[in-house]
Amino acid sequence: MSLLQYLRYRGLRKLKSLEAKPLKKRAQEVVARQWLQGQNPLHENPLTTPVMVNLTSFPKRYKHLHLTLKSLLLQDIAPFQLNLWLFRDDIDALPDNVKALTQYGLSIYPVDEDIRSYKKLIPALQQFPDAYHVTADDDIYYRPDWLCQLLLSATTDRILCWRAHRITRYKDGQPKAYRRWEPKTEHRGPSNDLFFTSGGGVLFPPGALDERVTDIQLAQQLAPYADDLWWYMMARLKATPIERVGNNPALVNWPDSREGSLWQFNKSETAGNDVQLHNLIDYFSFKV
């Protein structure tokens, strides 16, 4: 990236961050108002195969969970199924404002083992292998067109994402350290260098990931705290193209919602994503 390109990229990211600030301040109010207005999809889902939006959570993050779920139920495209995958021992702690959403389309599924963030997708792939699966996080406000942008661009042969980092490389082609990747890239791809972030929203067509994707023992052995790296490696092993959609807005997180988050840990040079990525590369003998 030239200096001019870098300055333009940084300026654009700053602009989008500033554009999102008013929404961050009033996101809870926006959800409350939209919820009172009711669900009113503007677009019909063009896919005939079932679409499932999947996320997980745990008690420390339950405070704002109902807000995320409401923003997902208020998407301007339908139909789709919204699945909340929870460790079975955590279900009793769910607040009533989450349980009440089952009458509006939320499905809550127990998971026998607490497999951390892997609960987001592995149980869904096991139970619904022929569906299109979309990932989400429990601490984000999803704008009404979030799912629409993914589904209207969907194909059977590529993975689509709202947000990605771009892997930067040394001259020999080896990936640089995670902290030196191009975060929240504007590049659209398709490209093997697009590292999708599942919380931003990723659409996986049926069969887009290597068949070993549901091997939770192996996943936790190689990438115990980096499920996104696991999904990425499974996509690369299957040679599925990765493409970014949408206008790449800044994410809107709920206040104080990052308790228990691994985002800072995974930037560490001595642990985090770099170690886990090399675990995957070494095990699969695969050049990322």
Task: Give the pLDDT confidence score for residue 5 in this predicted structure.
Answer: 81
Strands (E), the chain: 43-44, 51-56, 77-78, 81-87, 106-111, 132-135, 140-141, 159-161, 164-166, 194-196, 202-204, 242-244, 252-253
Task: Assign 3-class secondary structure to 54-120.
Answer: EEECCHHHHHHHHHHHHHHHCCCEECCEEEEEEEHHHHHHCCHHHHHHHHHCEEEEEECCCCHHHHH
pTM (2 d.p.): 0.94
Between CA 158 and CA 133 the distance in angstroms is: 12
Residue 236's alpha-carbon distances to 45, 168, 279, in angstroms, are 28, 16, 15
pLDDT tens digits, one per residue of 160-175: 999 999 999 999 989 9
Q: Share the mean pLDDT of the chain.
A: 93
Cis bond before residue 79 (omega within 30° of 0): yes
Specify whether the CB–CB gap between 148 and 77 falls below 8 A.
yes
pLDDT tens digits, one per residue of 221-274: 999 999 999 999 999 999 999 999 999 999 999 987 665 455 454 555 556 899
Task: Give the pLDDT confidence score for residue 267 in this predicted structure.
Answer: 54
Q: What is the CA radius of gyration of the chain?
A: 18
- Domains of the chain, start order: 3-284 (3.90.550.10)
pLDDT tens digits, one per residue of 14-58: 999 999 999 999 999 999 999 999 988 999 999 999 999 999 999
Between CA 63 and CA 60 the distance in angstroms is: 7
Distance of CA 245 to the CA centre of its chain: 13
SS3 12: helix
pLDDT at 219 > cutoff 90: yes
